[in-house]
Amino acid sequence: MPDTELHPLGRFAPPPGMRRRRWLDRGFTAGATAAALLAVAVLALVIASVLINGAPALSWRFLTHNPHTSAFGVNTGGIANAIVGSAILIALASGMAVPAGILVGVFSTQFAGSRTARSIRFALDVLNGVPTIVTGVFVFGVLVIGGRQSGWAGAVALAIVELPIVGRSAEEVLTLVPERLREAGLALGLRRWRIIVSIILPTAVGGLLTGAVLAVARVAGETAPLIFTTSFAGPGLSVNPGGSLANLPVTIFDLSESPSPTSHAQAWAAALVLILGVLILSLIARVLHDRSVAALRR
């Protein structure tokens, strides 16, 4: 017979400590639920604040016209040059960081030994933890001092920030590819590079795209590296990365530093454009992630 006491009504009494464990379980559940609700509430508060303050200043003219400073020092134009400049910077940075990050993930998961792979992961984690202002100072010292600010310098700074995110996500995705696919390729007599190009990468393409999109969303709002590398841009529209390119993060910073209330409203509107772009990228990454997980489970 189990070592439990019989309840007066004929039921077995709970073992000692059961009530305390139930209360602890309920307490941890309540704490986790509160933390999740707090995170959602903070996100909702940020989005609501930007929407309330930025929506009144948002217009088609604001999105499609370049800045124009009035006689009183107020911008009566828009942020078209900043939108185009940000798109160019992100495209250049992604063109550098995404292929390099995927190659790093392929090397660490397919070719490197366990000790080398751990060293690579550690280096990527350290690089990911470096403050972006340090990255901006580094690129400023290497590419800007002795020359001038340029879109290329800004793109390199963003690529350094983006690289560890792409590399780590590529590692995680490639490790999820079933081992039987590699074994099937070896059984067919394929070389390792052929297995990677024809089997492993196509299988993991959804997850690789997810990591790339998340990395783009991560660097889209980086301000510190761009202040050091491409902040002295003119009011006109420029698509030449050899010169300084206007961009949304620096534009928001400049407008918020202005004493004009009109500029403050425009800063909120530019922030709304930026956060909407990041939200769209995050939703795309979520869809790609779900499709990638479904494909790997087949």
Whether 124 and 41 share a structural domain = no
Whether 116 and 134 share a structural domain = yes
Give the pLDDT of residue 16: 64
Whether 66 and 51 share a structural domain = no
pLDDT of 183-217, one tens digit each?
777 777 777 778 888 888 888 888 888 888 888 98
| Boundary-marking domain end, from 7, 30, 57 | 57
158 Cβ neighbours under 8 A, 6+ residues apart: 89, 90, 93, 97, 219, 222, 225, 226
- One-letter amino acid for residue 41 of the chain: A
| Boundary-marking domain end, from 57, 86, 104 | 57
Give the pLDDT of residue 133: 92
Whether 180 and 255 share a structural domain = yes
Q: 16 or 164: which carries more pLDDT confidence?
A: 164
Task: For residue 43, count other CB atoms closer than 10 A to its CB.
Answer: 11
Mean pLDDT of 53-74: 78
Whether 179 and 34 share a structural domain = no
Q: From the CA atom positions of the chain, what is the Rg in Å?
A: 26
Distance CA 177, CA 90 (A): 29
Residue 5 domain-assigned? Answer: no
Whether 101 and 215 share a structural domain = yes
Whether 22 and 104 share a structural domain = no
Mean pLDDT of 43-64: 87
Residue 27 has pLDDT above 90, yes or no: no
Whether 52 and 69 share a structural domain = no
The total number of structural domains that make up the chain = 2
Mean pLDDT of 25-35: 87
Whether 42 and 106 share a structural domain = no
CATH number for the domain that contains residue 93: 1.10.3720.10
Residue 23 has pLDDT above 80, yes or no: yes
pTM score of the predicted model: 0.83
Whether 175 and 233 share a structural domain = yes
Residue 79 has pLDDT above 70, yes or no: yes
Residue 12 domain-assigned? Answer: no
Mean pLDDT of 136-161: 91
Structure tokens at 202: 């196509």
33 is in which domain, residue-wise?
A: 18-57
In this prediction, residue 1 has a pLDDT band, given cuts at 50, 70 and 90, of very low
Average pLDDT of the chain, as a whole number: 84
Whether 46 and 127 share a structural domain = no
Whether 45 and 183 share a structural domain = no
Query: Which range, of 103-107, 120-124, 178-182, averages the lowest pLDDT?
Result: 178-182
Residue 32 domain-assigned? Answer: yes
Give the pLDDT of residue 264: 86
Residue 231 domain-assigned? Answer: yes
Residue 215 domain-assigned? Answer: yes
Residue 245 domain-assigned? Answer: yes
Give the pLDDT of residue 155: 93
Nearest residue to 219 (alpha-carbon basis) of 137, 264, 281, 170: 281
Residue 79 domain-assigned? Answer: yes
**Helix extents (H) in the chain:** 18-54, 60-64, 80-106, 114-129, 132-139, 151-175, 179-187, 192-195, 201-203, 205-219, 224-229, 248-257, 261-297
Residue 177 domain-assigned? Answer: yes
